[in-house]
Structure 1
Amino acid sequence: MRCLPLIIALAAPLAAASACRPPKWTVGQTVHTSSGPVEGHAASTASEVSEYLGIPYAQPPVGSLRFQPPVRYTGETKISGKSFGAACFPSNISAFDADFPQELIDVYGITEVGRRILATITNPGIPVSEDCLTLNVWTKPQTGEKRKAVMVYIHGGSFVSGSSAVPAYNGQFFADQEDIVLVTINYRLTFFGFPGNPHGHQNPGLLDQRMAVEWVRDNIASFGGDPKRITLFGESAGGASVDHYSFAWPHDPIVAGLISMSGTASGIAPRSAALATELWYNTTTALGCGDATTPPSTLLTCMQSAPAPSLIATLLNTIDSPNSVPYSPTIDSTLVFPHHHPSNNTTNTTNTTHPTAPLPLLIGTTDNESGLFRLFVPPQPSLTPAQETTFWHHQNQHRFVCPAAARANHSSHRDGNPTWRYRWHGVFPNTALSTTPPSGAYHDSEVAVLFGTVDEGLVGNTKGQGEVGRYMRGAWAAFARDPAKGLGRYGREFDGVGGGMGEGWPRYVAGEETLVRLGWEGRAGASVVRGDLYDDGC
């Protein structure tokens, strides 16, 4: 699972000669990059796909580089490309394993499949380290376009957990089936990525994402990719990161398209500078490095020398914290800006004073985002079942649906960008979390279906489920190949296969038949309804 409850300088491009794809591609061949030569290998299942893992794009952010902007990695030493890099350090979050409270298992009817999914929420078994700024590439240059569209995925995890090594994000099926190059990245999380230092850099984690995109721009042609057709996409905190990216680099976005899944800059709201500063000094004091009266340079030097485990031990528990996302992007008016937060009492808009990158946007949410989040919270005795349902519906609207509607309107109506909006309805036996109430199409439930990586260890995919996944991969890839027009040509009939038939996806207009429902009734294709059909309370 990828999300917890509620909770830079430009480098010169490589020489043109090094960016040229070899005339004949051999699966797993060594690729020369600015990080050094990278050896590849055949992907585990899609054996015609070349897989390159654990490529460093920035120097290890340790010692004097801790809490600082990333510094580009360059080297000549061969990189094996056989293993994922370490995950970036998470917060001291609570794992949900065999000791998941029996009370909640019984109350919510959490299924065996659900327990298995919930047990992965903290990515158990994935090594962690501060030396974590790596990325992975899946490609199949021997077929299809000579310069393929590129998709760069930013993982979720409430900005406090997650990794590109999570099995759900394996890009081999995307690359094999859709003639695109798929890239996944790591970026600094929690206090390391968002330290809150009032005298330093507030958002190194977002700068990591930017540097990874720069690395892709400068190196992806050597993997058969087109540096002029990069789409940035992500889910949950990754979706919010995509949105933040559009505000942070409006005049030099590098990428050609944006896909924001179940996360926006206003829905997963950034921290105020005041809260970030408070948490910074709470940690510096706990480590004995000083407080607001200590000279900033002295304090920073001490914090950069503190052992990482000691630092993590001082952090807030990110599940029990009174703050929904205590370690997250911080408003600095350089990378992160204040956003209006759509709700019953505010205007349904996002930030209207700062420009966004003028790029095509695909944005959407799941039908029941809170089907995941409510499992972490015991039922409230003071609320009737109907009141509980109303509360969680409000959370869906407040955190996800209304911000997505606002962002779609911002992109389509104010900026005139090609914009598409979807809603995920897929519910399958091997993705169900609970039965009382049913978890439905909950937060993150579409990601493994999209990547073709659903865990079938307990229950296999249904026939329709496989077709839904193929249809979604086709849609996302159609957008990446031509962000302005690709979806307008992509089939949307329930044809049993997905793609290639029927009318294309309509551009989003709130009051017209333009909202695309995916996974509707478990079938491939798209059911189109009024754009604001689900926007009650917005």
Structure 2
Amino acid sequence: MMISSTILSLVLHAAVGTAVPSTLHYRNVSTTAKIDSGIIVGASVVEPESQATVIKYLGVPFGAPPERFKPPRRPDPWTSPYDASNYKPACIQKFNYPEPMRDLTMQWFNSPPSPAGESEDCLNLNVFVPASKGSSPKSVMFWLFGGAFSFGTGSLPAYDGTSFAANQNVIVVTPNYRTNVFGFPGSPELSRSEQNLGWLDQRLALDWVQRNIAALGGDPGKVTIVGESAGAGGVDALVTAPPQPVPFRAAIMQSGQASISAENNSSAVSWQKLTKLANCAESSALKCLRALPVDQLRDLVERQSLPFFPVHDGGVTFADKPRVDRRSSRSTGSSIARVPVMIGTNAEEGLTFVYGQNDSRKFLQDSLPNANALTITLALGLYPKGTRQTEDGFHQLGLIDTEVTMQCPARALAQDNKKVGIPTWRYYFEASFPNTEIFDHSGAWHSSEIRLIFGTYPKQGATALQVDLSRRMQTAWANFIKDPQKGPGWAQSPSVAFIGKAARDAGNGQNAKEVASDPIVSGSALYLDRRCFLLDGAYDKLSGV
């Protein structure tokens, strides 16, 4: 129990995918729309596979230029048509030193980077609208990126919504939100309700969708919030502490959640360290850091690797005990949004987070200084070497991390939902392809499913199975978004959909099989989760159950 709770409290994972977008051809269609702030003029493209036209509205402001360390507000109206044909800046990102790990993080999760650079004036979103006219307004996918609450943007090429919109007839919205010290500052001079600025940004973007998506052909009553890793944490926070009225009807959490986590005061500690590094007096630190040049502020937090994460704020954006609220949600006046949920994880989530660590015993001893030798031995004994996922110390650690921080919490939340009658579907992503590996035999690494869902995987070197799996995953996600009560196309939890098992890395960089009658197969989770019950007590303690 000690091992699992400590690892969970120390490791808060998030990441984003990268991709090479499809070659797109432009077609002349009307790209002008009127929203509540004024007229926007986008651009149209033809998606090659479907030959369907998609209108892209890029970099549309959903918030005014934010004041540093202050909550967001709606943008002022504009009088001239707004050029929404190109991406606008990402928010300020943080990639921690030392240099080797910093370079790897950017290579894995920020390459290619946001095409428009970074700025504090970053509260913008992108909308991908199928140009086809239908008899009814379209469903909406509202995507929240991951990035360890340190980096990320809705404008990464991996999140280009053109393929999903064209092939699934769904509107895709990808907003920015503030991260690191700019989004979760931890200042004692800010009120409790102003601590999670990045999550307030997400809520303002959702509010923008409610006010404006109808003008773009969408249905504000058919919004599904979707997020990966840190973005999935944002989704879980929205579900368990929703705005009123609830601005979404379903939720998808990919490789992350926010209900099972240790109380985290790292933002407050980091803020204190930052004020000293910047030579700011404690009594006026907020004013002092607001005046600091942005590059200097970022450099301080990067070089000291200062962590900044969301904090419980009484339900303004983050419920104090979200798992308790979920478990009691059958009662009248439930504080959570009892919406259908889809949740899942990847087979090799943990490998990127223990990269370079090959001595599993030493790593656990260093990470868990209070654990005795017997505890370490017992923990390693649960993950004996010699299997495909535990072939050496590196992979052994990766599997421990995968299960403790991702897979088993997803199981726990799915079980919680089932107990209170919330429709829930679960998946387990296993596919690995040579053209998407980030290192040899990286497997189904953290965030590797994203580019298959968005259809932004590299087309060069793509296999027939990869193309087919992407189509099927897109369809499954779209099925859920269009009809959450019906689900993605497989049995509800406790069953799990095994996705891409036919495309497991056979150990030589090639797929185990290149054909499969159905690369998404529903089955029992009993063997998959065979160790998870050992962690239930630790998760209950962490979440106050």
Work out the CA distance in 1 between the residues paired with 2:204 and 2:473: 28
Q: Is the 8 A contact 2:64 2:74 kept in 1?
A: yes
| CA apart distance, 1:391 | 2.6
Which position in structure 2 is the counterpart of 1:287? 278
Work out the CA distance in 2 between the residues paired with 1:245 and 1:166: 23
Work out the CA distance in 2 between the residues paired with 1:193 and 1:270: 20
Work out the CA distance in 2 between the residues paired with 1:176 and 1:255: 22
Which position in structure 1 is the counterpart of 2:232? 239
Which position in structure 2 is the counterpart of 1:453? 456
Within-5 A mapping of 1:158-307: 158-200=148-190, 201-249=194-242, 252-266=245-259, 269=261, 272=264, 274-291=265-282, 294=283, 298-307=284-293
Identity %: 31
2:296 aligned to 310, 321, 326, which one? 310
Instruction: Give per-residue Cα distances to partners, 1:69-128, cap 9 Å, x unaligned.
Output: 110113123211111110100114349889969xxxxxxxxxxxxx99637458376500
Q: Is the 8 A contact 2:64 2:73 kept in 1?
A: yes
Instruction: Give per-residue Cα distances to partners, 1:188-223, cap 9 Å, x unaligned.
Output: 011000000123121000010011011011100111
Instruction: Give per-residue Cα distances to partners, 1:147-182, cap 9 Å, x unaligned.
Output: 010001001111111111110100001110001111
Which position in structure 1 is the counterpart of 2:351? 371
User: In 2 relative to 1, CA 31–379 (structure 1 residues): closer, same or farther, beyond 3 Å?
Assistant: farther
Say whether 1:420 aligns with 2:421: no
Work out the CA distance in 2 between the residues paired with 1:116 and 1:289: 30
SS in 2 for 1:55: strand
Q: Is the 8 A contact 1:95 1:122 kept in 2?
A: no
| CA apart distance, 1:303 | 2.4
Instruction: Give per-residue Cα distances to partners, 1:446-475, cap 9 Å, x unaligned.
Output: 10111110134xx42111111111111111
* Corresponding letter in the other structure for 1:315: V
Which position in structure 1 is the counterpart of 2:530? 536
User: In 2 relative to 1, CA 278–374 (structure 1 residues): closer, same or farther, beyond 3 Å?
Assistant: closer
User: In 2 relative to 1, CA 99–374 (structure 1 residues): closer, same or farther, beyond 3 Å?
Assistant: closer
SS in 2 for 1:448: helix
Work out the CA distance in 2 between the residues paired with 1:205 and 1:276: 13
SS in 1 for 2:82: coil
Say whether 1:433 aligns with 2:438: yes
Which position in structure 1 is the counterpart of 2:388? none
Work out the CA distance in 1 between the residues paired with 2:109 and 2:409: 29
| CA apart distance, 1:358 | 0.6
| CA apart distance, 1:507 | 1.3
Work out the CA distance in 2 between the residues paired with 1:479 and 1:152: 13
Question: TM-score scaled to structure 2, two decimals?
Answer: 0.77
Greater shift, 306-315 or 171-180, is seen at 306-315
* Corresponding letter in the other structure for 1:508: S
* Corresponding letter in the other structure for 2:458: D
Work out the CA distance in 1 between the residues paired with 2:427 and 2:361: 35
* Corresponding letter in the other structure for 2:308: Y
Instruction: Give per-residue Cα distances to partners, 1:213-241, cap 9 Å, x unaligned.
Output: 11011100111101100000011111111
Instruction: Give per-residue Cα distances to partners, 1:302-355, cap 9 Å, x unaligned.
Output: 22222111211221558x66xxxx2121122232245699xxxxxxx8974784
Work out the CA distance in 1 between the residues paired with 2:345 and 2:411: 10
Which position in structure 2 is the counterpart of 1:404? 410
Which position in structure 2 is the counterpart of 1:29? 31
* Corresponding letter in the other structure for 2:480: F
Which position in structure 2 is the counterpart of 1:506? 491
Instruction: Give per-residue Cα distances to partners, 1:347-381, cap 9 Å, x unaligned.
Output: xx897478421100000001111232233546569
Instruction: Give per-residue Cα distances to partners, 1:406-448, cap 9 Å, x unaligned.
Output: 111122222x11110001011112112333xx22111111101
Work out the CA distance in 2 between the residues paired with 1:357 and 1:474: 25
Work out the CA distance in 1 between the residues paired with 2:237 and 2:226: 12
* Corresponding letter in the other structure for 2:525: G
In angstroms, what is the RMSD of aligned CA positions?
Answer: 3.0
Which position in structure 2 is the counterpart of 1:329? 310
* Corresponding letter in the other structure for 2:45: A
Work out the CA distance in 2 between the residues paired with 1:407 and 1:242: 13
Greater shift, 212-221 or 73-82, is seen at 73-82
Work out the CA distance in 2 between the residues paired with 1:233 and 1:421: 14
User: In 2 relative to 1, CA 203–99 (structure 1 residues): closer, same or farther, beyond 3 Å?
Assistant: closer
Q: Which runs of 5+ in 1 are unaligned?
A: 8-24, 102-114, 342-348, 491-504
User: In 2 relative to 1, CA 286–258 (structure 1 residues): closer, same or farther, beyond 3 Å?
Assistant: same
Which position in structure 2 is the counterpart of 1:48? 53
SS in 2 for 1:375: coil
| CA apart distance, 1:276 | 2.2
Greater shift, 376-385 or 244-253, is seen at 376-385
* Corresponding letter in the other structure for 1:305: A
User: Between Structure 1 and Structure 2, which shows a larger proportion of helix residues?
Assistant: 2
Q: Which runs of 5+ in 2 are unaligned?
A: 1-9, 14-26, 330-334, 364-384, 386-390, 504-515, 533-545
Work out the CA distance in 2 between the residues paired with 1:430 and 1:145: 40
* Corresponding letter in the other structure for 2:491: P
SS in 1 for 2:434: coil
Q: Is the 8 A contact 1:266 1:350 kept in 2?
A: no
SS in 1 for 2:221: strand
User: In 2 relative to 1, CA 257–390 (structure 1 residues): closer, same or farther, beyond 3 Å?
Assistant: same
Instruction: Give per-residue Cα distances to partners, 1:232-259, cap 9 Å, x unaligned.
Output: 0011111111111112217532101000
| CA apart distance, 1:386 | 4.5
* Corresponding letter in the other structure for 2:41: E
Which position in structure 1 is the counterpart of 2:479? 478
Work out the CA distance in 2 between the residues paired with 1:314 and 1:271: 25
Say whether 1:391 aligns with 2:416: no
Work out the CA distance in 2 between the residues paired with 1:506 and 1:255: 23
SS in 2 for 1:196: coil
Instruction: Give per-residue Cα distances to partners, 1:288-307, cap 9 Å, x unaligned.
Output: 3322xx1xxx4322222221
Q: Size of the alignment, in residue pairs?
A: 458
Q: Is the 8 A contact 2:428 2:498 kept in 1?
A: yes
Q: Is the 8 A contact 2:158 2:454 kept in 1?
A: yes
User: In 2 relative to 1, CA 283–351 (structure 1 residues): closer, same or farther, beyond 3 Å?
Assistant: farther
Q: Is the 8 A contact 1:154 1:234 kept in 2?
A: yes
Work out the CA distance in 2 between the residues paired with 1:476 and 1:371: 25
Work out the CA distance in 2 between the residues paired with 1:286 and 1:90: 19
* Corresponding letter in the other structure for 2:492: R
SS in 2 for 1:243: helix
Work out the CA distance in 1 between the residues paired with 2:527 and 2:99: 35
* Corresponding letter in the other structure for 1:327: F
* Corresponding letter in the other structure for 2:344: G
Q: Is the 8 A contact 1:123 1:162 kept in 2?
A: no
Work out the CA distance in 1 between the residues paired with 2:215 and 2:108: 38
Which position in structure 2 is the counterpart of 1:143? 133
